[in-house]
Amino acid sequence: MSQPMIEASGVRKSFGALEVLRGVDLVVNRGDVACLIGPSGSGKSTFLRCINHLEQHDAGRLTVDGQLVGYEQRGTALYELNDRQICAERSQIGMVFQRFNLFAHLTALENVTLGPINVRGETPTSARERAMELLRSVGLADKAQNYPSQLSGGQQQRVAIARALAMEPKLMLFDEPTSALDPELVGEVLDAMKQLALNGMTMVVVTHEMGFAREVANQLFFLDEGVVQESGHPRDVLVNPKTDRLSNFLSKVL
Amino acid sequence: MQTNGDEPLKVVPVRHFSRWLAAVVVGILVAMTAHTLVSRIPTGEQICRTVVDGAGHHVRRCHEALQWRFSWDVVGRYLADFNIIKGLGMTLVLTVLTMVIGITLGALVAIMRLSSSRLLSGPAWLFTWFFRGTPVYVQLLFWFNIAAIFPTLDIGIPFGPAVWHIDAVNLFTPFTAALVALGLNEGAYMSEIVRGGIVAVDEGQVEAANSLGLTRFQTLKLVVLPQAMRVIIPPTGNEVISMLKTSSLASAVAVVEVLKAAQNIYSATYEVIPLLIVASLWYLLVTTILSIGQYYVERHFSKGSLRTVPLTPRQRLARDIQGVAGKFRTQRGVRV
Ligand SMILES: Nc1ncnc2c1ncn2[C@@H]1O[C@H](COP(=O)(O)OP(=O)(O)O)[C@@H](O)[C@H]1O
Ligand SMILES: [Mg+2]
């Protein structure tokens, strides 16, 4: 078996006195679609943000593709990475946010080309070509010249997915990508994500869409009180929850 | 339209009596002002001439000489005076240079202020506190007189040997003193404006940029500042216009800008009011041009934040004319 894409053991994170992550253990393999579920405030976003170092975890071991996040191990010492190295790590991990976070001053096309041109050093021409290709694949070729404020939520989120994919990431993180959408727009975003999963992308998805979890994911993690309480294949976990916490939670969201 | 069965109902517009009253009052005030502007006053001299009356006698007829209350003839004479224009040039140079210093310094201080390092944010706060907290006029006099406490200025290794030294008297000419004083003061104000703009940008934008792997500097340059501009530009336009006028303080340290140029003339001719009007007219003209420029710059930076970019005044005029023409045509029963 090849190296796991994400390996977390005993990951801890506090904000001041509030301990949000209290030793998260999980493994996500290459090509997995892992869903992370749990009550609000259980630390799902925090854990996701630790994976691409938007937050720095305090303790435990967290690796992406065999590399420690934010540190380099030489012998028995850990060396903190400098800004440039952290940026290089991040550029290989795509992230999609609940509130889209498209760059408001750039068109859809410019949103998608910003990373490739400035981080990967692509020429504007080739970046634009690839961006158009990606926008076409999420069904938005005709919206390339629109500014985010001129797009619906579902369209914005699909542009955000295209923007992340333009960096050709090895891993995609989704933080409640459909929670800010009107119900009738949820489907189009989930479809785009489904397509991505079919193409073999490794994905970690924080979501309350149990339908998506059941249909697309092959791994489910239930996070509560800062630890992974239950994990396994969604078919098993969702049907036969072993803990009261999970059955309580499921009775609320299903 | 509301209808009563088949008959369309007559619409009676609201009558705005108070609006009419206000318009009449304002109209009277405007007329009085206009009248004062073109009024004439006696000079105190008599103009006399001798005429032949009906009986063939030579008679002396006199009347009082009149002149414009605001000496418009004198204003006209000096408006394009060489020294005034030269002074205006100095005013513009001072405004542009101090704003360049102010904006650069302001951006730098704002970024320092927002740094998580106290070593950077502390001094930035101190800078703003000091230069906003003391009158710009005092700062101007201070820099003009600085040579008194720093007779020479050494440039070299800090606390070590000097590599290069100059006499402060030569460095702090009236012009450089004005530049430094106005520039530093403006930097303090601009830093608050820039900081406000940066803070107004949603945090999610920075996170999205970071998640793409953009460096901190790239994030600032490509994502944060362009969006902050929308918030920064309008007050900066006001600062430019304000600086245009504040630069007149430099006349106090003998920089010959437009006000000083006017003063130089009236100290010889005693035509104080007309020359102050000359200077004011130039300030008004430049302010007007700057305001028009500000409108277009703001429009440029509103890209993306508004669903539709506002029309330029010309486009608006064209639309209004078309609208009126359209109404006119439909009224005459022509389909448009
Ligand atoms: N930057 C922060 N500073 C302080 N507290 C935070 C911060 N980010 C998150 N938290 C707190 O951590 C807890 C977990 O947050 P989060 O990871 O967003 O939960 P979830 O995504 O599961 O709803 C919450 O109580 C939240 O208030
Ligand atoms: Mg969350």
Mean pLDDT, all residues of chain B: 87
Is 70 exceeded by the pLDDT of residue B324? Answer: no
Tell me: pLDDT of B242 over 50: yes
Nearest-atom index, ligand 1, CA of A48: 17
pTM exceeding the 0.90 threshold for the entire prediction? no
**With an 8 Å Cβ cutoff, are B307 and A103 in contact?**
no
Look at residue A196 in the predicted model and tell me its pLDDT. Answer: 95
Residues of chain A with pLDDT under 50: none
Nearest of A130, A185, A193 to residue A160 by alpha carbon: A193
pLDDT for residue B331: 46
Q: Grade residue B329 by pLDDT with cuts at 50, 70 and 90.
A: low
Q: What is the pLDDT of residue B334?
A: 40
Which of A45, A173, A221, A224 to mutate to test ligand 1, by most ligand atoms within 8 A of the CB atom? Answer: A45
pLDDT at A72: 86
| pLDDT, position B332 | 45
Tell if the CB–CB gap between A101 and B212 is shorter than 8 Å. no
Range B34-55 burial, b when 16+ CB lie within 10 A, else e: eeeeeeeeeeeeeeeeeeeeee
Look at A75-84, B131-140, B268-277 and tell me which has the smallest mean pLDDT. Answer: A75-84
Rounded to a whole number of angstroms, the distance between the first and last alpha carbons of chain B is 20
Contacts of A164 in chain B (CB under 8 A): 211-212
pLDDT at B52 over 50: yes
SS3 B326: helix
Q: Which of the given ranges, A29-43, B50-64, B164-178, has the highest pLDDT on average?
A: A29-43
DSSP notation for B265-310: HHHHH--HHHHHHHHHHHHHHHHHHHHHHHHHHHHHHTTTTSSSPP
Cα B258 to Cα B20: distance, rounded to the nearest angstrom: 42
Residues A104, B216: C-beta atoms closer than 8 Å: no
The mean-pLDDT minimum among B36-45, B114-123, B157-166, B221-230 falls in B157-166
Q: What is the pLDDT averaged over residues B240-250? A: 95
Q: Pinpoint the alpha helices (H) of B39-62.
A: none
Please check the confidence at residue B309 and state whether its pLDDT lies above 70: no
pLDDT-based confidence at residue B307 (cuts at 50, 70, 90):
low
- Please check the confidence at residue B245 and state whether its pLDDT lies above 90: yes
Interface test with A, best of B212, B219, B298 (most A CBs within 10 A): B212
Helices (H) and strands (E) in chain A, counts: 9, 12
Average pLDDT estimate for B136-141:
94
- Residue A119's SS3 state is coil
Please report which residue ranges of B52-135 form alpha helices under DSSP H.
72-79, 82-113, 118-133
State how far the Cα of B105 lies from the Cα of B234, in Å rounded to an integer: 18
pLDDT-derived band at B304 (thresholds 50, 70, 90) equals low
Looking at residue A201, what is its pLDDT?
97
pLDDT at position B336: 34
**B51 vs B153, which has greater pLDDT?**
B51
